[in-house]
Amino acid sequence: MNKAIFFDRDGTLIIDKHYPNDPNQIEYFSDCFSTLKKLQNQGYLLFIVTNQSGVAKGLITEEQLEAIHEQMQQDFEKQNINIEEYFSAPYLPTSNHYYRKPNPGMLLEAINTYNINPAQSWMLGDKISDVEAGLKSGCKSILLSQTTSDKTSNYHTCKDLSEALKIIEQA
């Protein structure tokens, strides 16, 4: 079986620009490429799982969303980083859609399609809904947040991707 890292997109890999609709708005966190490369070298398959309610709200089009992911794919390829698949959930928060985090649909689809063992896999995101989706799908989860870690929680908390890498390597 494979192991995987599931990344939220906005606020996790790239700076959250609130409904970005143009590839020019992509701005990677400084440790994004180095962290993904190290995880890839450790044998993890890499996925992006992103809620995109802006599509349902009419703030961005499916084509604009696709253009952003195509640009990201080119940027990652230049760094020899392979993202297996980009999953997006273009549904309203009120939809409670199975694919929209905190529901685990996007992760479970990847887990089934790519023969992934969730117990060896991780979800990383900057919102508690990311962590919930990770835990519901059986993955270990890390919340990227500036707030102090709650030692009693069933997930990890750290401030950036570099720290998340250390947590994964030490687990």
Q: What are the structure tokens assigned to 35, written together?
A: 């962290």
- Which C-beta is closer to Mg ion: that of 2 or that of 25? 25
Interacting residue ranges for Mg ion, rule: CB under 5 A = 8, 10-11, 126
Q: How far apart are CA 89 and CA 49, in angstroms?
A: 8
Tell me whether residue 16 is one of the annotated catalytic residues.
no
In the complex, minimum distance from the CB of residue 70 to Mg ion, in angstroms, rounded to a whole number: 20
- Which C-beta is closer to Mg ion: that of 29 or that of 114? 29
In the complex, minimum distance from the CB of residue 129 to Mg ion, in angstroms, rounded to a whole number: 8
- Which C-beta is closer to Mg ion: that of 120 or that of 135? 135
In the complex, minimum distance from the CB of residue 26 to Mg ion, in angstroms, rounded to a whole number: 14
DSSP string, 78-143: HTT--EEEEEEE---GGG--TTSTTS-HHHHHHHHHTTB-GGG-EEEESSHHHHHHHHHTT-EEEE
Catalytic residue selected from 10, 16, 75, 130: 10
Tell me whether residue 10 is one of the annotated catalytic residues.
yes
Closest CA to 60 of 79, 82, 38, 88: 88
Task: Return the active site residues.
Answer: 8, 10
